[in-house]
Structure 1
């Protein structure tokens, strides 16, 4: 059992649960990103479920990172690394000093996430996950300006001391770039899976993220020129982890992982760029996967510069499914211009 100050630990029949929450913070500037760190124990524990404790009216989104070393020793710090301004209330530092990995993401009142049987995130002990760091993006701060109200958004985590045969991870795909005025723009990324033959990735869930201009975010595995959908969603829906479109999919050496964000900027006279504020955009496709317990990926992210400097340009790009920019429910197709 962990001995952690400021953590509430509750024993369950098959393990225990603990809270990772903001300590009644009162951000004073809009688009503030705050981080809170907790140190893991000397024994390895295995996370099997995430239960968010947050409301979209307060927290725009939350990310949970594992780190070898946290970005700060302070209880809470400003961790909006891409933000140019300096917070007047919190010291600025990165999310992690070393070993940064995303293990969970939440937005838009998404529900709980339970991992498949015999799959977990290993933390503490002899793993590289020595700390967990919760990052919360406060898009709007009006409710905190009077000083009367604070926020304790966070995550309730269920874990067990019992090892699983498979360990989970999150593979993040994203782009930089910009969206021109009066346009529909495709923001695209793709990377070759270069792991050894025996390191097979098993995706089981996906999540998308964009701001106000996102209409469709889709992800694919390309094998021998054939595109197989991992997931496709309107980012204006609940930003939870959904089951993948193609159950029992595998990712093997030589496959290409590709993602596209279809962005609509038809009624705007300004160029919109990728960034950290509510006036900027984001293009992210998350793949939650598992490997055999004794394996790990050499790289868990894929980034490209995005438009106008990058678009898909590889042999299989001529066979992109039309569904890549088709809304999964309304079936509306968005053609770039």
Structure 2
């Protein structure tokens, strides 16, 4: 569940219906500024004393959108829901406006997990050029984080890179459980500077599945996200990626099972399902492809539009292994000597 504040001066049309409905008014595109988020297992969040979510004031929009993702596989009717998010506000302004930024993978079927895998990784990138044009000159300070996948997620981490060096992880859960998606206050605020890279990696377990799991909004699909809470607020609302469509199409067409009828293989889903995933080497080949293929960056503002001068296509950034502590490194050198 998310609450979005509408930005801009254009009138916001009323709407109540499915998020992906063709009847959804175009005017709602300006309503992408996240001011609240919740997922299964989360409790409330008290912001630090130095920052607060800006709500109200003479220049603030009076329109918000609440988006709720329901899971109703049995198509039950007549069910009533009164879910929502309660905000506690103060007239005493804090030193900084806080923001919420979405990291990870775009909701796309290009991000897919083969069946029968006990451990399969996908990575979403927030590129250095994205942070260079999207963050304020002195960077931001991240004080909380909420990791998010659907049912097959088992481990989530956001790596923090600067000038090719791996800094301490922004957040990590090696025992991730989809029904306990707590918004976690970090031990201390993490300074993310312009030019830094944030890589969110999710590890999935599809060993009980016999079909490809695609990225998407449905609960049967998968996600890989990290909502970071930070200050001061920036224009960068969403910093996510997906693999290049042309490169993925070429990969899939080159690996469709020999003899498979390709007359109806039109969509990405069709192409994935025309591959024999019972062969483990195919999953390994896909994993290697994802780690090397060009990715399409989504560096978006709260209005849902791409930030000017932000990158479109980039090469994936490798995540180096953590460096040895200096003292241990020196000890090893002494022993070798």
Report the TM range for the smaller structure's normalisation: 0.5 to 0.7
1:169 corresponding residue in structure 2: 99
2:19 corresponding residue in structure 1: 80
Deviation by residue 1:26-74 (Cα, 9 ceiling, x = unmatched):
xxxxxxxxxxxxxxxxxxxxxxxxxxxxxxxxxxxx1111112686414
1:160 matched to 2:90? The reply is: yes
TM-score in terms of structure 1 length: 0.64
Deviation by residue 1:287-334 (Cα, 9 ceiling, x = unmatched):
11011xxxx423222221158564378796251459xxxxxxxxxxxx
1:151 corresponding residue in structure 2: 81
Among 111, 115, 131, the residue aligned to 2:63:
131
Among 207, 212, 233, the residue aligned to 2:151:
212
TM-score in terms of structure 2 length: 0.64
Q: Distance in 1 between matches of 2:86 and 2:158?
A: 29
1:282 matched to 2:223? The reply is: yes
Gaps of 5+ in 1: 1-61, 323-337
Contact 1:80–1:94 (CA under 8 A) maintained in structure 2: no
1:23 corresponding residue in structure 2: none
| Higher strand proportion (structure 1 or 2) | 1
Root mean square deviation, CA, Å: 2.9
Q: Distance in 2 between matches of 1:278 and 1:270?
A: 15
Residues matched between the structures, number: 245
Contact 1:70–1:133 (CA under 8 A) maintained in structure 2: no
Among 116, 119, 132, the residue aligned to 1:194:
132
**SS of the residue aligned with 1:248?**
strand
**SS of the residue aligned with 1:260?**
strand
Deviates more, 1:124-133 or 1:275-284: 124-133
**SS of the residue aligned with 1:159?**
coil
**SS of the residue aligned with 1:160?**
coil
Contact 2:159–2:319 (CA under 8 A) maintained in structure 1: no
1:330 corresponding residue in structure 2: none
Contact 2:102–2:227 (CA under 8 A) maintained in structure 1: yes
Q: Distance in 1 between matches of 2:317 and 2:112?
A: 24
**SS of the residue aligned with 1:194?**
helix
1:297 corresponding residue in structure 2: 234
Q: Distance in 1 between matches of 2:114 and 2:76?
A: 35
Q: Distance in 2 between matches of 1:217 and 1:129?
A: 35
Q: Which has the larger radius of gyration?
A: 2
**SS of the residue aligned with 2:89?**
strand
Deviation by residue 1:111-154 (Cα, 9 ceiling, x = unmatched):
11110113111123344544222111221286962x3x522111
Gaps of 5+ in 2: 249-285, 294-314, 324-337
Among 91, 95, 113, the residue aligned to 1:179:
113
